Structure 1
Amino acid sequence: MRDPVDVQAVRRHFAFPTLGRIATNNAASTQPPRELVALYQSLAPGYENVHRGQSSASQEMTALFEESYDTIARFVGASGRDGIALYRNTTEAINAVMYSLLTEFREGDNVVTTTMEHNSNYVPWYAMCREILPRLGRRVDYRLARFDPHTGELDLDHLASLIDARTKLVCCTGASNFLGTRTPLRAVRALADASGYLQPTGERRSYLLVDAAQLVPGSFVDVRALDVDYLAFSFHKMLAPFGVGVLYGKPHLLAAALPFLYGGDMIAEGRVFPDRVDYNRLPWKYAAGTPNILGAVVSAQALRLLLDLALSPDRPAYFGTAEPIERSTVRAGMNRVSTWNRQLTGRALDGLGAIDGITIYGPRDPARRTSLVAFNLAGRDPVGVAEALNRAGIESRAGCHCATLAHHALGLTPPASCRLSFYLYNTPDEVDQAVAAVAAVAAGRPAGLDGPRERVAAR
């Protein structure tokens, strides 16, 4: 059967393979294609601020900047740029929701989240309930839904038992960055819908916020089909450089809510008075101060390049253009990425599962998870395992992966695991090399004396 992705053609767009690197820490950050690095340089001669000048350079840069919002909106299926706010990362985007909704919470309300969450989708709600609102004399509770320790699946019955008529917000991961588990978002949406909570908009249901940092990079996502109220993700996990995260919000919610940050450009032009301040129209109401202009432009182009790499890596059609991307194109491209990632993950699960003394966390069916595999080796410290893998040229990650609650829920001491994670530029051979290195570490054999970097250098 033909591979869904021409991986060798894809790899020609990246510099890291020439160094012999086996980049399998993609759940933390992906590698940047050469085109995006060059794009930064090409934008420098015409660089100017946006929304703040009458020069041709400023107006041209403003057009590129605003087009980036349109591309992002089309990629996730939003109705338009008025549902998009840009922040530094997923964490800041989730904090933006917390601070925007802060004053809406009423005495006795609650927030429901899960023990599967990245700290970014738990700690802000902990802080709001335990540290911020108590200082304002208001009691709001948070509730944690458990997951099945054997399968890594969210316990939907337990989640349902926690949601009631005082649940203003349900927060969940779209896919766990430790267990890899894909959350059944439609089922969670149905539970949130049934709460009966009376929102300021007159709706009677709980809002749903999805941390999609691990979901969007490798899946076709349609925010309107999922009917999520808020969704957050980061570009540094999908080929772009660091520094830009996305918050999608339903436009009527963003229009009604208070901003997270206040100051320049989020104000309607000339509408600041001693007794009144009028906010800018969407999406600029949520863009206080000078934004990460080049980051936004390059990140939006990263989405276009990702589709090109998935669909026609030797004949780019969307990168470097403002050509509208159709939903059918996004679906086709991201389905290819998803299929390739699933093949790599299934290969890794099969290989790792044959190693004596290994514990693999999360679903064993690659179709039920994203392209990461976290594990521990009996009697071995996970950090030491990752260091041994690095000597073999395998780039992994060890620690709690900021999924501290889940590690504690499994009783792991220390609360840590080792993780391999894959993306569309990884090859089956790299997966095999990673599995062989883990097997060598588990057996107590040297894993890195003649690793891939040394072999490449010798050629």
Structure 2
Amino acid sequence: MWTRPRDQQVGLPTHTLDVDRVRSHFDFADLGRVVTNNAASTQPPRELAALLVTLTKGYENVHRGQSIASQQTTELFEASYDTFAQWLNAPSRRTIATYRNTTEAINAVMYSLLTDFRDGDNVVTTMLEHNSDFVPWYGMCREILPRFGRHVECRLARFDHRTGELDLDHLAELVDHRTKLVCVTGASNFLGTKPPLTLIRAIADGSGYRRDDGSSGSLLLVDAAQLVPSSYVDVQRLDVDYLAFSCHKVLAPFGVGILYAKERLLAQARPFLYGGDMIATGRVAPDRVEYNDLPWKYAAGTPNILGVIVSAYALRLLPDLVGVDGSTRWFTSTAPLPAPLVAETMNRVGRHTAELTDLALCEAMSIDGLSCYGPAAGLPRSPLLAFNVAGVDPFALAENLGRLGVEARAGCHCATLAHRDLGLDPPASCRLSFALYNSRDDMTYAMDAVRRVTDQLRRRPGLT
């Protein structure tokens, strides 16, 4: 938590995106909406709605169908996995599995690893985590494995209450030769903190945990739900074992979560869900079942076919919206997405959203009694600010902002551990979060609304 003196000046960087051009692809602005709850879910561009209508005309189920419609839908569906892999600079589609969201993807990792934990092992995660990267491990350690007489500990690394930064020394103390898995957020959805993943990878590698294959080191899982929407993420450079994110935070309107995992891990692991497409064709007998090839080994039943396809096209649309390469329309192209194109696209998005966030943080600090949480303006953070105002209920604040058209969010944001660790009572804050289509006018209006609502609620104590 930090405050800024009113006379402190912060340099204002120039715009990094043609925001008017970006916004012309969306309908929400015409409705007078100031969309600043993007950490929860982003708005879908018009092209994706039109694509859905087009796809439904030739829609069929995928794989094993003989109709032309089935074969065409299968081709689009499988190509979507290539797009997801290219976006993360993953080696191939064989490293990708799709689920409903980040939460389900992390649960899939937990259930796949469940029987591999040995008695006396531990999992290390952090107080920064979204509930979805703590509760599955809590449930595994406290509720599931004890029923089988196996005892695995879930350890929590602390963070600096003033800066919001992860305590790497404490994390390193918790990681030992019995740490099978280290789980960490790539960017906090409350504090905005971006833990240094390269250093955490080194801590995990140095644990000395003996794996079944004879190698050593702890596995590393990254919850990238808040990292992928505004950053370039190269899973090979980061050398993560698992990484999960949700497409509904990257413009897609559907419930699709992406899990990246190293191919050898997916090849040797047991699936999370059984049945349907994860079974090799014709390979079921009373005494033997054979699984499908990767990545379909992790595609039980009929998947969210249209959701997966449209989510992949949401990523392909991003370079066009940002204007990285004017010579190619990537949304209508079937060419592979080059890593430099993806990197430049997300670097532009990241610069733009970082600019808005820094400006908003500086505006926030001019409001009497307001306290922001996490890294200060100018430091790396995800594009959001969570705050409280002394004497003002955060739920009342968010509700009244909504009446002015500002779509904020109040609550613990599923980051309950961090809210409680900060001693917040109730464990809640108000949050604004930005995306590529937000303008400076959005930010200015939102912060002016925070100031107005705060003043109104203070004058009417019964509403606070």
Same fold (TM over 0.5): yes
Q: Which of 233, 238, 242 does residue 250 from structure 2 map onto?
A: 238
Gap runs ≥5 in structure 1: 448-459
For the residue of structure 1 that corresponds to 2:333, the secondary structure is coil
Counterpart in 2 of 1:73? 85
Matched, 1:248 2:247: no
Aligned-pair CA distance for 1:183? 1.1
- Post-superposition CA distance 1:213-266 (Å, at most 9, x none): 000010000001000000000000010013100000000000011000000110
The question of 1:258 aligning with 2:267 is answered no
2-structure distance, mates of 1:3, 1:334: 15
Answer yes or no: is the 8 Å Cα contact 1:305–1:316 preserved in 2.
no
Q: TM-score with structure 1 length normalisation?
A: 0.95
Alignment partner of 1:355: what SS? coil
Given the alignment of the two structures, is residue 337 of structure 1 paired with residue 349 of structure 2, yes or no? yes
In structure 1, the residue matched to 2:198 is 186
Trace 1:93-112 onto structure 2 (pairs within 5 A): 93-112=105-124
User: Which residue of the partner structure matches residue 142 of structure 1?
Assistant: 154
Counterpart among 411, 422, 426 of residue 410 in structure 1? 422
- Offset at residue 356 of structure 1 (A): 0.5
* Correspondent of 2:44 among 28, 32, 36: 32
User: 1:446/1:23 Cα in 2 relative to 1: closer, same or farther (>3 Å)?
Assistant: farther
Alignment pair present for 1:297 and 2:291: no
Q: Please tell me whether the aligned partners of residues 119 and 403 of structure 1 are also in contact (alpha carbons under 8 angstroms).
A: yes
Residue type at the aligned position of 2:116: E
Map of 2:403 onto structure 1: 391
| Structure 1 residue 122: Cα displacement | 0.2
Counterpart Cα distance in 2 of 1:26 and 1:393: 15
- SS of equivalent to 1:210: strand
Aligned-partner residue type, residue 360 of structure 2:
A
Deviation at 1:271, TM superposition (A): 1.2
Q: Which residue of 2 aligns with 1:13?
A: 25
Return the alpha-carbon distance in structure 2 between the equivalents of residues 372 and 104 of structure 1.
37
**What's the % identity of the aligned pairs?**
64
Partner of 2:290, secondary structure, is: strand
Matches within 5 A, 1:54-453: 54-311=66-323, 317-444=329-456
- Quickly say closer, same or farther: Cα 1:2–1:147, change in 2 above 3 A: closer
1:450 equivalent in structure 2: none
CA offsets, 1:394-444, max 9 Å, x none? Answer: 100000000000000000000000000000100001101111111112223
The residue matched to 1:398 in structure 2 has which SS? Answer: strand
Q: Is the 8 A contact 1:84 1:249 kept in 2?
A: yes
Q: Aligned with 1:112: secondary structure?
A: strand
Structure-2 change in CA distance of 1:315 and 1:354 (3 Å) = farther
Q: CA offsets per residue over residues 6-50 of structure 1, 9 Å max, x none? A: 100000000000001000000000000000001000001110000
Q: How many angstroms does 1:93 deviate by?
A: 0.1
Q: Secondary structure at the match of 1:444?
A: helix
Distance 2:343 2:377 in 1: 22
Which segments of 5 or more consecutive residues in structure 2 lack a partner in the other structure?
Answer: 1-12, 460-464
Cα 1:236–1:256 shift into 2, 3 Å: same
The CA deviation at 1:315 is: 7.5
User: Which amino acid letter does the alignment assign opposite residue 197 of structure 1?
Assistant: Y
**Partner residue, 1:453:** none
TM-aligned CA deviation for residue 4 of structure 1: 1.6
RMSD: 1.4
Residues 343-395 of structure 1, C-alpha deviation per residue, up to 9 Å, x if partnerless?
Answer: 10011011001111001000013441010000001011100000111111110
Partner Cα separation in structure 2 for residue 41 and residue 446 of structure 1: 49
Letter aligned with residue 48 of structure 1 = E
User: What is the alpha-carbon distance in structure 1 between the residues aligned to residue 156 and residue 321 of structure 2?
Assistant: 39
CA shift, 1:148, in A, is: 0.3
CA–CA separation in structure 2 for the residues paired with 1:121 and 1:315: 41
Give how far 1:178 is off: 0.2
Q: In structure 2, do the counterparts of structure 1 residues 73 and 440 end up closer, same or farther at CA, with 3 Å as the change threshold?
A: same
